[in-house]
């Protein structure tokens, strides 16, 4: 049996397994089976802890979407895994390694966990987009929304700025936007309503996962895109369906994100039962 921990940040939920001993035999298909909400345990991302393989980090975190694809970044899981590692090490700060780099994290005095998600990539090649263009204005229309901005937080994000999120059936627009021809690696799609220069409401359609209650990297990308469009300053509170994240795009280019983490329950599963 494989022990797991069910964690979440703002309801963006994760099945976390510890494969630092390299005994679990994780494959993309098995990760997808575990993430399935009907036949498996159910989660937005299946997270595998691995040895960091070198100095400078406490753990390596691998991220699978429910469709079995691997994601390069996951802000909420970064904060959850940082919490686990801080408990394990008895420290108040750790470094979480991902395929895109090392993310320093710390526990804040109010008990929330912050992650330094690194600098965004703003070039069209890095998002990636299909051809050369200004990443602050994409020639893209999906239903009633148009003219989004894009950037990468290690994973690709597109942000549509909308008037009233409550009057937009954004979940209906997600699939077409995720698979738009301008997006060769697909993308996570944000629908953002700017309330004030330091306050955004956001809903995210996630690549490979669909609508989630929150997306940390999506919140980072939204602040970056909103600031580049002149809609906000460099700090904002971002309200997602599952709760609120606090964001700052520091002058040194790094994006900092803070918010709550929680463990919902722990348990055990085996791959064969999931496949049945
Ligand atoms: N929920 C995650 C992002 C998952 C991104 C994934 N759906 C992708 O394919 O990039 C977060 O908190 O940042």
Q: Read out DSSP for 231-262? A: SS-SEEEEEETTEEEEEEE-TTS-EEEEE--E
- Stretch 51-68: mean pLDDT: 97
pLDDT of residue 275: 75
What is the pLDDT at residue 246?
98
Whether residue 230 has pLDDT greater than 80: yes
Tell me which of 43, 74, 105, 151 is the catalytic residue. Answer: 74
Active site residue 215: yes
Kindly list the distances between the CA atom of residue 273 and the CA atoms of 24, 27, 64, 269, in Å, as whole numbers in the listed order: 15, 15, 20, 7
* Burial category of 63 from C-beta neighbours within 10 Å (exposed 0-12, middle 13-18, buried 19 and up): buried
Alpha helices in the chain (DSSP H): 28-35, 75-89, 170-178, 216-228, 271-275
Percent of the chain with pLDDT over 70: 100
pLDDT of residue 169: 98
* Fold match flag (2-106+261-275 vs 141-253): yes
Q: What percent of the chain has pLDDT over 90?
A: 99
What sign results for the dihedral spanned by CA atoms 8, 158, 101, 41? positive
Length, in residues, of the chain: 276
24: burial class by Cβ within 10 Å (0-12, 13-18, 19+)? middle
If one residue of 126, 127, 190, 209 were mutated to test the ligand 1 pocket, choosing by the most ligand atoms within 8 A of its CB, it would be 209
Examine the pLDDT at 239 and tell me if it is beyond 80.
Answer: yes
Cα 52 from chain centroid (whole Å) = 20
C-alpha 109 to ligand 1 mean position (Å):
26
* ipTM over 0.90 threshold: yes
* Cis peptide, bond prior to residue 244, ω within 30 of zero: no
- Give the mutation target among 76, 98, 128, 206 for probing the ligand 1 site: most ligand atoms within 8 A of CB: 206
- Domain extent listing, the chain: 2-106+261-275, 141-253
Query: Is 2-106+261-275 in CATH node 3.10.310.10?
Result: yes
Q: Share the mean pLDDT of the chain.
A: 98
Residue 200: band (very low, low, confident or very high) from pLDDT cuts 50, 70, 90: very high
Per-residue pLDDT of 14-39, as tens digits, reads 999 999 999 999 999 999 999 999 99
Checking if the pLDDT of 207 tops 90, the result is: yes
> Angle 16-246-265 (CA atoms, 0-180°, nearest 5)?
25
* pLDDT(276) > 70: no
Ligand 1: atom nearest CA of 77 is: 12
Contacts of 118 (CB under 8 A, 6+ apart): 100, 101, 103, 153, 154, 254, 255
Asked if residue 20 lies in contact with residue 50, where contact means CB atoms within 8 angstroms, the answer is yes
Q: What superfamily does domain 141-253 belong to in CATH?
A: Diaminopimelate Epimerase; Chain A, domain 1 (3.10.310.10)
Is the CB of residue 7 less than 8 Å from the CB of residue 216? no
In 3-state terms, what secondary structure has residue 165?
helix
At 95-145, the pLDDT tens digits run 999 999 999 999 999 999 999 999 999 999 999 999 999 999 999 999 999
Given this model, what pLDDT does residue 55 score?
96
Q: Which two tokens stand for residue 149?
A: 């901005």
Residue 42 in marked binding region: no
């Amino acid at each position: 049996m494989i022990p797991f921990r069910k964690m979440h940040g703002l309801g963006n939920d994760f099945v976390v397994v510890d494969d630092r001993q390299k005994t679990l035999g994780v494959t993309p298909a098995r990760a997808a089976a575990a993430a399935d909400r009907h036949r498996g345990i159910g989660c937005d991302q299946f997270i595998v802890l691995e040895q960091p393989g070198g100095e400078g980090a406490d753990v390596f975190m691998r991220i699978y979407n429910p469709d079995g694809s691997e994601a390069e970044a996951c802000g909420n899981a970064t904060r959850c895994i940082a919490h686990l590692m801080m408990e394990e090490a008895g420290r108040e700060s750790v470094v979480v390694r991902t395929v895109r780099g090392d993310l320093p994290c710390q526990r804040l005095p109010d008990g929330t966990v912050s992650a330094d998600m690194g600098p965004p990539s703003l070039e069209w090649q890095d998002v990636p987009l299909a051809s050369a263009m200004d990443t602050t204005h994409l020639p893209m229309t999906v239903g009633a929304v148009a003219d989004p901005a894009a950037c990468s937080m290690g994973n690709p994000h597109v942000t549509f700025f909308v008037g009233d999120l409550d009057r937009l059936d954004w979940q209906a627009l997600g699939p077409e936007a995720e698979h738009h021809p301008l997006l060769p690696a697909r993308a996570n799609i944000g629908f953002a309503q700017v309330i004030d220069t330091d306050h955004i409401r956001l809903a995210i359609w996630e690549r490979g996962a669909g609508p989630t209650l929150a997306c940390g990297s999506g919140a980072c990308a939204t602040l970056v895109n909103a600031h580049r469009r002149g809609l906000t300053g460099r700090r904002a509170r971002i309200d997602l369906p599952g709760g609120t994240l606090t964001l700052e795009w520091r002058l040194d280019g790094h994006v900092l994100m803070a918010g709550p983490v929680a463990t919902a329950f722990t348990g055990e599963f085996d791959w064969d039962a999931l496949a049945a």
